Amino acid sequence: MARKLDEPQERGDFFKSLGTLLAGFVANSLEEAVTGLGPKLLRPPGALDELEFLTKCTRCDKCMRACPENAILLAPPSAGLALRTPYIDPRSVPCFLCTTLPCIAACEDEALIWPKRTLAGGTVIDGPKATRMGTARVKQNRCVTWETVDREVRACRICVDRCPYPGEALRLAEPGEGETVGHPVVDAEICTGCGICVFACPAEPGAIVVEPRRG
């Protein structure tokens, strides 16, 4: 096979390269089509990457029944191919990161697996703290710690106090210059995406959302 772009290629090598490119294009298009059919769903702890998750999940509902907090819901018809797959709506009921993660133990199809990951500094963690359901994001225009034309600023740290890893996943920053109160700040590396901060936020509509992990 030619090693440089300006070298002549054999006919067979050309079509082999073309086939590889097409296969990659089809795979990427298929993943985008499958995962983009429904809303962005926040999956339970330990969920595989979305395409593999949709392939392995048999819609047996066992994880839903195993959840002691009744936090796991089943996706409606509007979710397309994700119909009846498990997801969490943190504004209704968040994931409370049970110590034993019974939803994972109940998943015999291994669509949910015990979380384990390596942090940027090389530290390996597993279990609830290693969960990566998504990442919380604070909406400044809704958070009461920021002043708007329609709202006076006021101190609030409810989301930080309710976070399972306060001071790590979510902390209250010191007030900036000219400010009187601090604002909640999310550490994307530590945040599990459990949604407890979303559930706890007193603002209406809520000032925190969780953006589901998509890969």
The torsion angles phi and psi of 159, rounded to 5 degrees, stand at: -60, -40
pLDDT value of residue 27: 46
Query: In sequence order, what are the beta bridge partners of 209?
Result: 137
Per-residue pLDDT of the chain (215 residues; tens, 9 = 90+): 444 444 555 555 544 544 555 544 444 445 555 545 444 899 999 999 999 999 999 999 999 999 999 999 999 998 888 999 999 999 999 999 999 999 999 999 999 999 999 999 999 999 999 999 999 999 999 999 999 888 899 999 999 999 999 999 999 999 988 889 999 999 999 999 999 999 999 999 999 999 998 76
pLDDT value of residue 176: 87
User: Which residue reads 């490119």 in tokens?
Assistant: 21
Cβ–Cβ < 8 Å for 143, 170: no
pLDDT value of residue 38: 42
Cβ–Cβ < 8 Å for 132, 44: no
pLDDT value of residue 13: 58
Distances (CA, A) of 138 to 117, 146, 154, 186: 24, 11, 16, 8
Distances (CA, A) of 28 to 36, 40, 51, 62, 118: 12, 18, 10, 30, 27
Strands 124-126, 72-74: pairing is unpaired
The torsion angles phi and psi of 145, rounded to 5 degrees, stand at: -80, -5
pLDDT value of residue 22: 52
pLDDT value of residue 3: 47
